[in-house]
A = this chain, B = another copy of it.
Amino acid sequence: MQVIQAYQCFCDETRLRILNLLLEGPLCVCHLTAILGVPQPKVSRHLKALRDGGALETERCYNWTICRLPATPSPLLEANLKCLQDLRAEERVFKADLKTRKRTVARILKDPGDALPAQIRSLAKDCC
């Protein structure tokens, strides 16, 4: 059953943290990795699981991969993203991640430096 695969997306803390972060807007893999503070291969594998479960869309821009929630989420996904919103009040990890996200994004916007190749600087507003 395909539903089961969809629910699998919500059965892992890292994946929930990723979804929580993406509720605020798109992020590229390297920023996700930085915010979560976990090894990059781990993030990459969880992203694949989310994609397979229909909970994530990715778009390749040069050598960046922009991650966002599906433009037209399934009813199931939509309902559970709403639940995830409400969970922020209870789970400190989620709130902490949002803080880290803000710090990270602010730092990148202020000083793109080598963190943001020139060609995709215009993407910053989109993915940060």
Residues of A near any B CB (own CB < 8 A): 1, 3-4, 7-8, 10-13, 16, 75-76, 79-80, 82-83, 86-87, 91, 93
Given the interface pairs A75-B86, A76-B83, the reply to whether A10 lies near B16 with Cβ below 8 Å is no
Q: What are 8 A-to-B residue pairs whose CB atoms are below 8 Å?
A: A1-B13, A1-B16, A3-B87, A4-B11, A4-B13, A7-B11, A8-B11, A76-B80
Given contacts A7-B7, A79-B80, A79-B83, 4 further A-B contacts (CB under 8 A): A4-B16, A75-B83, A75-B86, A76-B83
Q: How far is the CA of A9 from the CA of B82 in the complex (A)?
A: 19
**Would you give the shortest CB distance from A85 to chain B, in whole angstroms?**
11
